[in-house]
Amino acid sequence: TLDLPKTTDDILTRDVHLVQSWADLNSLKQNGATTAIVEAEGSYVTDSQGNRLIDGIGGLWCVNVGHKRAEIIDAITEQLNTLDFYSTFYSFTHPSAAALATKLAELAPGNLNKVHFGNSGSVANETAVRVLHHYYKRLGQPSKRKILSRHGAYHGSTHLAVAMTTPHYSDGWHKAEGIVHHMRKPHYWREGDGMSEAEFTDALLADMKADIESIGAENIACFIGEPIMGAGGVIVPPAGYHKRAAELCAEYEIKVVSDEVVTAFGRLGYFFASKDVFDFQPDIITTAKGLTSGYQPLSATIMSDEIHEVISGPGGVFLHGMTYSGHPAAAAAGLANIALMEREQIPQTVRSTGKHFEATLKGLDDLDIVGEVRGSHFMIGIEFVKDKETKEIFDPALNIGLRVARKAQERGLIARPLGHILILSPTLILTPEQIDTIGAILRESILDVM
Ligand code: PLP
């Protein structure tokens, strides 16, 4: 048995040695962590004070099937009892990695039939780029290395992944290296500038074409995009944007990488969103989070047969992979998670419960400080504004998102503040009653800070 701290004080004493992620470390040093989560079950977590809270962010957009599902825990245990670890380096393989790769090939759209595993969304995206650099080198086009991304994107925290993320976070590194070009954020409500939505799509596509022409398609490996931007504020692009962007890329022989770290595994009502929701066929899908519903760290870079055919041609070695690529326990968790989703028809259910969630939260837009509630199904962002007409935002020092989140937590709901935006990405197993409760808590919490 592990010697784990039990009381809040014990946890906080040991927490001084933990460096949190994406955190105000100075505030943590002064004040300590605010919440210690000690248990979880279904759509609820319990903190060290004994408060039972609705997990409105699904861990971190990832606990799709809910917490403490025995099927997944048993599958992990069974796997560890049979084979705790072996790698997929060189010519080694093992049953769970092989079976999960086969399952993902079956679920992924079109000819996406080959899977490389990693341990995080960041790594899945880095892998996509490494695969494509290798691919173009083998095709005798080594200059095709640059990456088209977008302002507002979030593709991870490792060095290249953060460079592909919106520029603010990468401290200019992408510019120094000259590898990533950020295009406009496809946010109609903020950037539409009096245009109709269709005109806005035209403008985005015209800009993209101009960027490709000026950089030179011979220098561009890929366009990477989230079907719906998540951490950038839950931005749903205008109708037709992804399909037309993919067509434009095909015209210029630029590969399309769909970052489905958040949008896959039922969050939008389908196993993958690119084809089923947005009607475009990527060349690579990257995914993580809901792949195991967070029970084990695992990511996948799912590539087309065509790309794999080139990188597996004669001569040369694919010099890439992590020790834990396709870890047996993680792959077992992925298999059990997908089996559970299929048996309980979770994606299908989300098509109705997710719509109820979306409508409930969109109903908050009558409140004076709610500028836009956007997103789809179980992926929602609420943007607060000081002035509904001008869309002026609150002074960042007011921490409006954090204040609403704190009020919500007092009422029994965890939501995620992101500046002046509040993010909701709950488990996908919420009942209509629980959804109504979330709506009511959010309404009261917003009214509290007005
Ligand atoms: N891509 C997207 C769309 C994400 O939302 C995230 C994480 O939130 C990542 C990539 C990075 O994943 P990870 O944190 O597992 O590295």
Task: Tell me the per-residue pLDDT of 214-264, one tens digit each, with 9 for 90 and over.
Answer: 999 999 999 999 999 999 999 999 999 999 999 999 999 999 999 999 999
Q: What residues form DSSP beta bridges with 150?
A: 183
Provide mean pLDDT across the span 443-447: 98
CA of 62 to the centre of ligand 1 (A): 10
Rounded Cα–Cα distance for residues 249 and 132 (Å): 14
Residue with the smallest CA separation from ligand 1 atom 7 is 156
- Tell me which H or E stretch contains 208: helix 197-215
Does the CB atom of residue 260 touch ligand 1 within 6 A? Answer: no
Q: Ligand 1 pocket check: which of 235, 289, 296, 322 to mutate, most ligand atoms within 8 Å of Cβ?
A: 289
Please tell me the predicted confidence (pLDDT) of residue 176: 72
CA of 388 to the centre of ligand 1 (A): 31
Rounded Cα–Cα distance for residues 156 and 199 (Å): 31
| Contacts for 285 with CB less than 8 Å, ≥ 6 apart | 108, 109, 112, 257, 258, 260, 264, 272, 274, 300, 301, 302
Provide mean pLDDT across the span 98-127: 98
Q: pLDDT > 70: what percent of the chain?
A: 100
- Tell me which H or E stretch contains 126: helix 121-138
Please tell me the predicted confidence (pLDDT) of residue 414: 98
CA of 10 to the centre of ligand 1 (A): 31
| Contacts for 299 with CB less than 8 Å, ≥ 6 apart | 117, 118, 119, 120, 121, 123, 124, 261, 286, 287, 288, 291
HSE toward the beta carbon, residue 246, CA cutoff 13 A: 19
Angle between the 400-410 and 432-449 helix axes, to the nearest 10 degrees?
130
pLDDT digits (tens, 9 = 90+) for 136-169: 999 999 999 999 999 999 999 999 999 999 998 8
Domains of the chain: 35-65+345-449 (3.90.1150.10), 72-343 (3.40.640.10)
Does the CB atom of residue 259 touch ligand 1 within 6 A? Answer: yes
Does the CB atom of residue 231 touch ligand 1 within 6 A? Answer: yes
Tell if the pTM clears 0.95, that is, is over it: yes
Rounded Cα–Cα distance for residues 256 and 369 (Å): 37
User: ipTM value of the model?
Assistant: 0.99
Report yes or no: 224 and 155 within 8 Å, Cβ to Cβ.
Answer: yes
Q: DSSP letter at 395?
A: P
